Structure formats: C-alpha cells, structure tokens
Structure 1
C-alpha cells in the first residue's frame, strides 16, 4: 500500500528555496502608469472556458497570470501593453490592451496538416489548478479557502488525488502542514478494502487519510462541464501572526501502486491582514493593593565590628581615659546596649584578634600581643552585662604584624619612594628582626613609620556574634545583595529594587528576585510594568499568575503583553478576567477586533481612537468603498496613510492610483517594502516592475 504520510516529504525540501525565489522576484513599483485588466479566455469551438492558459507580457514573455477554472484572469499592466495567451494544444494569440479594463479572448485549437491528412490536436489539460487565494487572518488563526479543479483527462476510475496545502513561515523558516484533501475515484475507494484488507474509512485501523476523503460523485462534477471541482477550506492556529507567510499546495495522483502525477503551486503569497496597521499603546498598571506586597520579614542576623584600643609602646595595659580608647569603648557599649534592648536578642560569642607592631625582638612582641589580648578580653568581659554573658564563648588570638604591612600603609598614603625603600630591605632580609634593624636606619623611620604606621599596627579587632530578629536597613540589604543575592528574602528584594534609581539595575534586581522566588508575583508585575513602559514585552512573566484569582493590574499587564506579542488567542482568554471600565474599555475592544469580532460596538470604540484606525477597521470588515472615502482624510505626511490608501484603491479596482500611493509610501518609509512583499493586499502591485 502507498504510504501517504511520506508522499510529500521530498518536495518539502524545496520550500525554503521557493520562498527565497519569490522574495527575490519582488521589486519596488516603477514610475510608469498601470491599470488592472480583467478578462476571460474561452474556446472557439464551444465557448467553454480555457483553464490553465498562460497570460504573459508579449514584449518580455514574462508570465503574469494563469486562467482559473472559470477561464478568468486578472493582471496589472501598462495601458498600452500587449498580452500573449498561450497553452499547449491552442494557437497562441496576442491582444493589445489599448486602455481596456476588460478583455474577452477566444482561442482556437491548433491543427497540424500532413499531406492529405488533417489531424486536429485534442485540447490537453494536464495540470491540476487550485485557485489562487488569500490567507485571511483573524486573531491567531489563518483561514485558507480555495477550489481545486480536477481535469477529466487526468483522473481515471482507479486513482486517488491527494492535495496537501503547506503554510510557509518565511521569517522563521518553518513549514506547517494544513489539513489535506483526498479525492478518490469510486472504484479506487471500493477496491481498497479488497486489496489491502482494511477498513478504508477507519483512520486508526485503516487508511490514515480516511477522514479527509471525498469520493467522486455527481455532486463533485462542475456544473455544465466534464471536470470535477472540489472545495477546500481550513483554519490553523499560528503563534506568530506578525511573521511573513505564504501557502503552497503539493498535489499527487496515484493508482494502486505508483504515483502518476506530482506538482506544486503557490496559491497565496502573503496574508490579508489590515489590522497589522492598527495603532494602539497602553500604559502599564502598577499594583496598588499592599495585600499583594511581601510582608516584612525579621531575620536572624550576626554582627561584627572593630575596636582600635591603643596600647603604649611596650605595655600590655591600655589607658581607658585616652580619648581614642574612650571613644572605641563607648562604641562597643552602644552596640551592646542596642542588642540588649532588641526583643529576642542574645549574645553568643566574643572573638578577639590582636597584634603588636614588629619593631624589636619578635618573641617579646608576640608575648606582648598575647598579654594585650588577655587584658582586653578581661576588660570587655567586665564591660558586658552579666545577664548577657551566660552561655557565651570567649576566644582570642594574637600575632606580630609583619613589616610588609608598613610598606602597604606607605603606598596607600602615596609615599611610593618610602614604600620602595622598605620593600628593598624586605627583599634583602628574610628575618623579621634583621628587617626591623635595617628599617630603623631609614631616614624617614622616626618621622613617618614610628609615628604614623606602627601605632596603627598595635590594635585589637573583635567579632561580637549575637542572634537578633530584625529587618535590615537598606544599606545592610545592599551589602548582603552584593555578597550573594540568593540570601535576600522577598521583602528585602522588594525594598531594594524599589529604592534603586537606575532602571537597568532595577530590572536586573527584579529578574534576580524571580530567579530566586519564581512565585514572586509582585516582582513579576513590577518587571512587566518596567518593560511595558519602555515598549518591551514579555508575556512569560505574568503567565503563571494571570487569571480569575489575580489582581486586575496583573491581568491588564498580561493582556497588554500578549497583544503586543501577537498572541491574540491567549490575550482573549485573559481578557475575560479584565473588568470593562474607563481605563480598559479601548484595550478590550482592541483585543476583540484582533480576535476577529468586528461588531458595531467594537468598531465604534476603535474608530474613536483615530482616523487611521477607522480605515483599518473598515478594511478588516471588507467595507472597501467606505474605507477608501475615509482614507482621503488621512494625513499625507505619514507613510502609512499612503499605504492604506493603496490597499483601498487596489481593492476597489483602481490599480493605477494604488500603484502611485504605494510608491509614495515607500519613498517616505522604505521599511514598508518588506511588509508589502507578503501583504496579500498589494503583492500584485509589486509585480509591475517585472512586467515592464
């Protein structure tokens, strides 16, 4: 049995090439006058329509159109053009347009004379011709309608025709198969059961194409003719409606064991979607109900600090009346008092780290550093309230500062030459006592090192660990954020990014907040507000939250994002949860029309937003004459005005003026050329250059 699913796989490889070839063939409109010519081609012998006749420019031999199943054609050409009509089995005929908008062309069958024998060549129809059509856009759904003529000469009693429309997304280089159409001759349909022992009409157990089958009958016969004609229509959901699309049709006729005919044709070059020019912009809505804000969260925190207790040279006891020592001790007492007054606070440990300056003997300095730590630790124990020291641990550590610290301090004070002198000694001597003796001989030792550097090295650092539940200050949050933003609570993120003045930093903080807390709705809405107000959209942000239980601001912002991303079907779902009020009424009307609901109320609402939008609505409703009248009122200094006017004129059969309007639009905004290449309302105008 023929495997139908594989029937069209090979031709699909050429789709990208076909789309590219089409795009390359399109060029901008030239300056010469054109007109639309409609016509009919019939056979002289019986007046029946000639189907599949090539209509070309006689001067360039470029094919402009092909007659459809009714023998009709439509082309845009110069008023003085000469058209050539040709078809296998028919005598070629050329006709001058002479400014006529309608032509009636009669073709004769071609005969060949050989001696006394005259052979009249039979009319041959060897192509299956789906009618050209448009891809109509309503919301996220593309609608394709066409008719397929099946010539009697090509379709016998034991054959099947499979027609597979294919939607090509030229922007993303994607191909989507639409619903196929299967046309069976009656004998083919009846003998499938006998030949292959399965139920032809069962899509699961039998023929996978069963549900698409139409069986040849009197109802499929074209009225008054011998060929059959089958109607086709399908709708398909498209995620990215703003992309460029075309529609190809792949066709094949098979008998029981082989393919007899295969062909491909383009039935739609672009989409008909005037709503692409609908002009709308909506401001984002910030959350106002504090019930959706994160609550303050008290956190368990530690604290640490430094105390610079100054010790006299060679002494292990400091003078508490010394102004500097008194100030340092007072800071420590204030911190302890703050902790003691904090509800639920408790001290856990006190760590002291002390050092002595390096001048003199190392072992004596180290011993002195330890004695200073013991003294300081005992002093601080006596400073702490007795009731707070229960269960506390006390530790201390002492060391002698290296001379390299002196070099660092000198360089920090921009005393580079002095620092170089110290570092040269350190490089020459590795023993700390030898280093000290050499450094003490430096000319600036007493004036700078002994008076400014060494006192700073006689110090005590402490870390006072305590447990306390409290909210952090903005500075503490910023410090914690710089260390590791994943430690922040929702409230801390919320407080931090709302205090940030830099937009880029604020957006980054909100993204990090959502990274750590994916369910953080307030951050998602705040980020959506930032993006919308900068004409950027990300519908994924609020997708987890929008719905019946979400605050109005979230649903409104999600609706805005979805509309601007072209996700109209999803927008329509969210719109059900948006209250219709003064601030949302126009937004809801825009959503409705973008989803194909063109009722009078929605039209009136959109029309109030501007003349351009009114023209767009009239075109969407196919009220082309009214749209043309209204388009005359659009401002001439805007490129889109001329483009919309070109659509109106082209739809109302005035290609010459439409052509001129399109040129004006391109001259003012060259980017419209790219839209026009796949805009079904004007693609026929773009072929004018190729005809001349």
Structure 2
C-alpha cells in the first residue's frame, strides 16, 4: 500500500512538473504583429518573416506590409524582401514591432554579366522598347540546373528605374517553384493557395533537362514622361523552406529604344467656328430718365398756352413717350410729376393750387398713352410751393445783386412762408418786376419719367464695366473682351477669368488653349474638363496637340477617337496614331510629310534594311539626319558608319548628347569618357 502511494505521488509530482514546464513554455510564446514599410512609409508586401527560433519563414506580409506571428519572446525576427536589406530585431516583450526596410544598394553594371558565369541566374541583355506610352521589356532568364532544385522557389522582379526622378516602377514578377516546394506551400496555406500573395504569378517546374531551364519574360508598363532617363533592372532571389539562398541584381537595359523622338511635326491651333459656341449677346435693362418743364397761368391750374415753350415741351414729351411705347426692347417703368406754385400769397392756397396743377397735367399727359402702358406705370405725384429763396437765386442770376440781398434780408427777418414776408416783398420798389418776370418762372410742373431699355453694351461700356464690376460681366461681354483684346497678355487674363466666372465656357477655354499652343506652351489641363463626344472637333484637335507636347500619346489618341470620322486634320491624326504605337496605320501619311519622317517610321517598325537604304539618301544637312542614319547603321552592325554619323550629329548639335546618353540605339557608340561622365552624373 505504501509503495502504491509512493508511486502515485511520484507520478503526480512528475505530471505537475510536466505541466509546469508546459505552462512555462507556453508563457514564452507571444503574439507579435506590426507593419513592414519602406523609408517613404509605404507598406512592403510579400516580405518574409523568419524566426531565429525555428530558422524558417513563419509569415509573409500582406499587401499593406502587415504581419502577425506567434514566436518565442526570447527569439529574434528577421525580415527579408527582394530589393531591401535584411533587418533583424529582438522580440523581448514587445508585441508591436513595426519595421522600416532600407532599399538595398546593388552595383548595377552598364554592361550585363557574361552568360558563361556559373552558379548564377543571369537575365539576357535586352532593350526597353517604346510603343506609345508603353515600355515593353522582353528578356529570357536561363536558370542553371545546378542552381535550382525541387525544394526551391525562384523569384524574378523586373522593374523600370526612372533615373531622372530616382523612382522605381515594378513590373509583373515571375515566381518559379520546384515541385516539392510548391506542394509544401500548399500545405502551409492549408491548401488555400490564394493565401500565398505570390500565387497568381507562380509557375511550377515540371520538366527536367541537363541544361537547366529558360524563363521567357515579356511585360509592358505605362509611362507618362518619356523624356526621362530609364533603365531596366531585374532583382533575383532564390529561397528554400528556411532561408534565401541566393540573391542578385542586374541591369539588363540602359536607355530606351524610341526613334519616334525624332519625328518632326508642328501644328497650328484651331479656333472655334461653330456659332453654337459663340455666346449670344444678352441685352441688359439700362435705366434712362427724361424731364419736362411746363409753366402755368397765374393763380390757375391751366397751362399757359401763350408760352410757346409749353407746346415745344409737350410735343417733345409725347414724341419720347410714343417712341418708348413702340420700341419692343424698351418699357416705361415710372412717371413722376411735381406741381409747383409761386410763393406769393398764402402758403396753404399755393399748396392746393400746386396739387390741382399736378392733377391736370398728369391727366393731360397720360391720356396720350396706351391703357396697358398707363396700368403698368409706377405713378408718383407731389405738390410744392416754391420758396422765396428761389426768387433770390433768379435775381442774383440776372445781376440784380442789391435786390437779391434785400429779399434775402427780409427772409432772415420774417422767415419763409409767413404773411409778413409776403407783405414786405410787395412793398419793395421792384415787386412789379418780380411779379411779371420771376414768379411766372416758378409756376410750373416738372415731369420725370424713368424707362428701361434692353440693349447690348458697346465695347467701351463693357471695358468700363470690367474695370468697375468685373463680376457683372456676361459670357458675351467676356467674349467681346477676348475678341477686342489688344495684347496676348490681356487675352490670357480675360480667358482665365472667363472660365473661372462661367463653368463650361467652351469658347474662352479654347481661346486660352489656342494662345498657349501659339507660343509653344500647350497645357492639356485647360481643355481637359471640356473633352467629350459632344465637344467641337477644333477643341479635340487642340487637346490632342497639347497632349502630344506633353508626351501623353495614348491619351491624345483616345481624345481624337471622340471626333466624328473624317473631321480631324489628316496630318494630326496620322502623327497621333504613329506616336501612340499604330505605326503601320500611320506610315503612309507620316512618311509623306518628309524624307526624315519616313526613315524614323521605318526604324520604329524595325524595317532596318529599308530604313538604312532611305537614310543614306538623306541630304544629311542636319544633325537629326546624321543621328537617325547612325541608328540605322548601328542596327545593321555597320559600326564604322554608325560612329561617323553620330560624331557628325554631335558636332553639329552637341545638345543631342543628352539624348544619346539615354538612347538604347546609340548609347553603345558613345566614347568611353562620355559613358563615364554619364555614369557619374546619374
């Protein structure tokens, strides 16, 4: 019994110790996650995460560079990725570990490594061929038999490197799996291959040869700026289940093959001729005033018919009102009348008399107008009594300064509108003259009529309005400013303001584009918002010219497809087709424009023999002609001819050296010191 207890106790202790060990081991493993980025903060996908504990890959980062692993907290994590330097970090107690990988610096030779080198995966040298805005990269990658086995994965990552902007553009990768490695990958991802970020690119090696394998590669990449310096690189990595066993990098092409850079063309801009896009004048209501003065008999509400001036005024008033009524662009809006009585006598009686004169005059005048016109009028009337100070003004105007001063003194003494002032004035020695000459001038009715008339502003009025209230200008008035602009600077200013003030102002935008094309500074952003199937062909043509200037050949081609067939100028259409890659379709038209263009097109189509035959017949009076002749000669391995022609070209135009340094057809012809200088500069 005792022995049994002892055995049971021993077994229990052993079990407890085992559990303690398991708990201890479990406690050592923690979840670690984070993000792998480059120095610009962009996530690095497909990066390997290795554990120093197992010395094998335990995870691969997703598209955003994120990873998540279970690992021993006393272990280290190693991060690797093609094109970046390896990075190792101790876990400690950190559960969040973000990693920044540095781009690996590879010595990329200008000349490809000779293919006889053993134990290397060496891509064949090639050219970057340009077709439209697409860079085409074709190469073959021999894989020596001794380098690759069934338990390995080979990853090829071609890229185009923009030397000018120091920017790398990745192309489609190639993933070459051995059969056993591929099976292991399936198991690792629980037979869900899509969990492998590289699955879409995997090719499985299923053949066996003594010589090894050859991987053929062809991919294209859209490039916006064709004037930069480019090269093609291939980063290569080979891994087994645990480590990256081989890594290398090669430059397989320097410069671009693009003879169309020498295609000569020049297009004038196109102004709009379709009246649909020329703004129609918008007539504006312009307020105008007229005024009539009529005199009345003393103490009466009747007009003074003895005064010939009254009839003249009435005739003029009737004529003006009738003209307004009969003008379809004019409308009588208001009629204001004020009846005025002279100040002699009692103020209340004079005020009443002024009112009677107003009513009588209004009745007589309005009777001449159409009933509908009278109904629409804004009528205002008022009655006033002229003050004695108006008499002072009339006296002073006639040079009667003494009399004016006396009346002015009486006004100050007795005040306006008083019986005593009237009595004092009547007692003056010159009252009879005031009564017969000056008081009649104050007995009158004044008419003010307001009318609005629709009319277009004159060019001078438009300019005046622009100076005062530019935001009040209509489209038509901006159109007139553009048409009458005296300088190109003025026209540009008006054009920019017009398209800011009026969205969709097609005419103004096109004129601004025409201006830029004329001074050889086309700007495709001006017309971009107006491009569409309904856009006028002139506008589409101008946009294509601007896109050609900016090197956006594919976009220029897509713009011209919006125009109805046969409406685009034939030369423009042919050049756009050629530059966007439709060489055969454009050849006949473009070749007919000049002998040089014919040679350039033949070179673009790789008809090198025919290009050489045509090139030798060129007058070769220009640097460009020597240059394209050098291309044709070099392609046919006529090295002596090629060197002579490129030297002649550079002698005539030294600036062509900048092109030669990035031209895949010429770069190998440059003197060694120029190559060295080029390398140092880049």
TM-score, normalised on structure 2? 0.61
State how 1:270-669 maps to structure 2 within 5 Å.
270-299=255-284, 301=285, 343=328, 345=330, 391=378, 467-578=452-563, 584-599=569-584, 602-669=586-653
Gap runs ≥5 in structure 1: 23-62, 72-86, 88-123, 308-331, 352-377, 396-462
> Does the C-alpha gap of structure 1 residues 134 and 64 become closer, same or farther in structure 2, counting only changes over 3 Å?
closer
Question: Deviation of residue 160 (structure 1)?
Answer: 1.5
State how 1:158-237 maps to structure 2 within 5 Å.
158-200=151-193, 202=194, 206-218=195-207, 221=209, 225=211, 227-237=212-222
Paired residues of 2:595 and 2:618 also in contact (CA < 8 A): yes
Helix, strand or coil: the match of 2:528?
Answer: coil
Helix, strand or coil: the match of 2:613?
Answer: helix
State how 1:662-677 maps to structure 2 within 5 Å.
662-677=646-661
CA distance in 2, matches of 1:668, 1:283: 28
CA distance in 1, matches of 2:168, 2:61: 20
1:685 aligns with 2:669: yes
Helix, strand or coil: the match of 1:130?
Answer: coil
Question: Deviation of residue 284 (structure 1)?
Answer: 2.1
Question: Deviation of residue 231 (structure 1)?
Answer: 0.9
> Does the C-alpha gap of structure 1 residues 342 and 231 become closer, same or farther in structure 2, counting only changes over 3 Å?
same
Paired residues of 1:2 and 1:256 also in contact (CA < 8 A): no
Paired residues of 1:247 and 1:267 also in contact (CA < 8 A): yes
> Does the C-alpha gap of structure 1 residues 347 and 472 become closer, same or farther in structure 2, counting only changes over 3 Å?
same
Paired residues of 1:2 and 1:258 also in contact (CA < 8 A): no
Counterpart among 121, 129, 147 of residue 128 in structure 1:
121
CA distance in 2, matches of 1:518, 1:288: 20
Paired residues of 1:302 and 1:465 also in contact (CA < 8 A): no
Counterpart of 2:84 in structure 1 is: 10
User: Which stretch shifts more, 170-179 or 206-215?
Assistant: 170-179
> Does the C-alpha gap of structure 1 residues 350 and 269 become closer, same or farther in structure 2, counting only changes over 3 Å?
farther
> Does the C-alpha gap of structure 1 residues 130 and 394 become closer, same or farther in structure 2, counting only changes over 3 Å?
farther
Counterpart of 2:419 in structure 1 is: none
CA distance in 1, matches of 2:609, 2:161: 32
CA distance in 1, matches of 2:451, 2:517: 45
Paired residues of 2:577 and 2:586 also in contact (CA < 8 A): yes
Paired residues of 1:347 and 1:392 also in contact (CA < 8 A): no
> Does the C-alpha gap of structure 1 residues 334 and 479 become closer, same or farther in structure 2, counting only changes over 3 Å?
farther
Question: Deviation of residue 540 (structure 1)?
Answer: 2.7
CA distance in 1, matches of 2:157, 2:171: 7
CA distance in 2, matches of 1:132, 1:306: 91
Gap runs ≥5 in structure 2: 1-58, 66-80, 86-99, 292-316, 337-357, 383-447, 677-682
> Does the C-alpha gap of structure 1 residues 186 and 339 become closer, same or farther in structure 2, counting only changes over 3 Å?
farther
Question: Deviation of residue 487 (structure 1)?
Answer: 2.2
Counterpart of 1:113 in structure 2 is: none
CA distance in 2, matches of 1:249, 1:275: 26
CA distance in 2, matches of 1:13, 1:269: 27
State how 1:46-61 maps to structure 2 within 5 Å.
none
Helix, strand or coil: the match of 1:165?
Answer: strand
> Does the C-alpha gap of structure 1 residues 391 and 148 become closer, same or farther in structure 2, counting only changes over 3 Å?
same
Counterpart of 1:31 in structure 2 is: none
Paired residues of 2:288 and 2:452 also in contact (CA < 8 A): no
Deviations 1:110-135 (A, max 9, x none): xxxxxxxxxxxxxx52x321111111
Kindly indicate whether structure 1 or structure 2 has the higher relative contact order, using CA contacts under 8 Å at least 6 residues apart: 1
Deviations 1:65-112 (A, max 9, x none): 44554x4xxxxxxxxxxxxxxx6xxxxxxxxxxxxxxxxxxxxxxxxx
CA distance in 2, matches of 1:250, 1:475: 69
> Does the C-alpha gap of structure 1 residues 563 and 506 become closer, same or farther in structure 2, counting only changes over 3 Å?
same
> Does the C-alpha gap of structure 1 residues 691 and 236 become closer, same or farther in structure 2, counting only changes over 3 Å?
closer
Larger Rg: 2
CA distance in 2, matches of 1:636, 1:17: 44
Helix, strand or coil: the match of 2:612?
Answer: helix
Paired residues of 2:286 and 2:454 also in contact (CA < 8 A): no
CA distance in 2, matches of 1:691, 1:533: 38
CA distance in 1, matches of 2:110, 2:131: 30
CA distance in 2, matches of 1:609, 1:266: 38
Counterpart of 2:139 in structure 1 is: 146
CA distance in 2, matches of 1:129, 1:253: 13
Question: Deviation of residue 15 (structure 1)?
Answer: 8.0
Helix, strand or coil: the match of 2:583?
Answer: coil
Paired residues of 1:284 and 1:557 also in contact (CA < 8 A): yes
CA distance in 1, matches of 2:225, 2:451: 57
Question: Deviation of residue 616 (structure 1)?
Answer: 0.1
> Does the C-alpha gap of structure 1 residues 540 and 333 become closer, same or farther in structure 2, counting only changes over 3 Å?
farther
Helix, strand or coil: the match of 2:529?
Answer: coil
Helix, strand or coil: the match of 1:147?
Answer: strand
CA distance in 2, matches of 1:552, 1:168: 38
Paired residues of 1:303 and 1:464 also in contact (CA < 8 A): no
Paired residues of 1:64 and 1:691 also in contact (CA < 8 A): no
Counterpart of 1:361 in structure 2 is: none
Deviations 1:203-223 (A, max 9, x none): xxx11211111111217x5xx
Question: Deviation of residue 501 (structure 1)?
Answer: 2.4
CA distance in 2, matches of 1:272, 1:537: 26
What is the aligned length? 481
Counterpart of 2:432 in structure 1 is: none
Question: Deviation of residue 536 (structure 1)?
Answer: 2.5
CA distance in 2, matches of 1:624, 1:537: 34
> Does the C-alpha gap of structure 1 residues 485 and 185 become closer, same or farther in structure 2, counting only changes over 3 Å?
farther
Paired residues of 1:250 and 1:264 also in contact (CA < 8 A): yes
Counterpart of 2:92 in structure 1 is: none
> Does the C-alpha gap of structure 1 residues 521 and 282 become closer, same or farther in structure 2, counting only changes over 3 Å?
same
CA distance in 1, matches of 2:319, 2:177: 95
Helix, strand or coil: the match of 2:60?
Answer: coil
> Does the C-alpha gap of structure 1 residues 151 and 491 become closer, same or farther in structure 2, counting only changes over 3 Å?
same
CA distance in 2, matches of 1:568, 1:334: 68
CA distance in 2, matches of 1:466, 1:10: 81
Paired residues of 2:290 and 2:449 also in contact (CA < 8 A): no
Question: Deviation of residue 552 (structure 1)?
Answer: 2.3
Question: Deviation of residue 474 (structure 1)?
Answer: 1.2
